């Protein structure tokens, strides 16, 4: 079963050379961001203003847990489209690695590279791929019955 479908999967991490800020709390403004997708195209929160989108944070492409989660999003993609929700994956991987992940798993959504960890630090997400990452906040009723993803909303 899909471990978590996330609107935002925010987590606390062990500090590294980049120190994550405080975890976003319910009602906090989400920081502005600009990242490159798997093709090198730029995507920004400004471009998406007024639209509903889901940011799926995953630590590392082509790992078992991340693949299972991504496959669950892929398999539920039509339900998100019906609700006009655009999906974006966000990881520390470079665009080329995300491109390989999209191709291997046939993801119909874009994967964004936060390789400088700017968005991760801004939202308090772990700054290394395998930091302990307890999922934050509350249950959100997703588009598919049986899913109980954790989110900050």
Q: Which of 54, 66, 73, 136 is catalytic?
A: 66
Q: Check: CB of residue 3 under 8 Å from CB of residue 68.
A: yes
> How many whole angstroms separate alpha carbon 11 and alpha carbon 4?
13
Which residues are within 8 A (CB) of 103 and not within 5 positions of it... i.e. 6 or more apart?
Answer: none
Residue 42's DSSP bridge partners are 36
Indicate if 66 belongs to the active site: yes
Q: Check: CB of residue 61 under 8 Å from CB of residue 97.
A: yes
Active site residues: 66
């Amino acid at each position: 079963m899909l471990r978590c479908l996330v609107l935002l999967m925010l987590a606390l991490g062990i500090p590294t050379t980049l120190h994550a800020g405080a975890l976003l709390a319910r009602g906090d403004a989400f920081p502005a961001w600009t990242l490159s997708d798997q093709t090198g195209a730029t995507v920004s929160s400004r471009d998406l203003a007024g639209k509903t989108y889901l940011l799926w944070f995953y630590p590392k492409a082509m790992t078992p847990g991340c693949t299972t989660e991504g496959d669950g999003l892929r398999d539920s993609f039509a339900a998100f489209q019906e609700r006009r929700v655009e999906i974006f994956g966000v990881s520390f991987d470079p665009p080329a690695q995300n491109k390989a992940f999209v191709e291997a798993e046939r993801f119909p959504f874009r994967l964004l590279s936060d390789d400088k960890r700017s968005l991760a630090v801004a939202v308090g997400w772990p700054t290394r791929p395998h930091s302990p990452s307890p999922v934050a906040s509350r249950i959100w009723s997703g588009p598919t019955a049986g899913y109980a993803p954790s989110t900050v909303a």
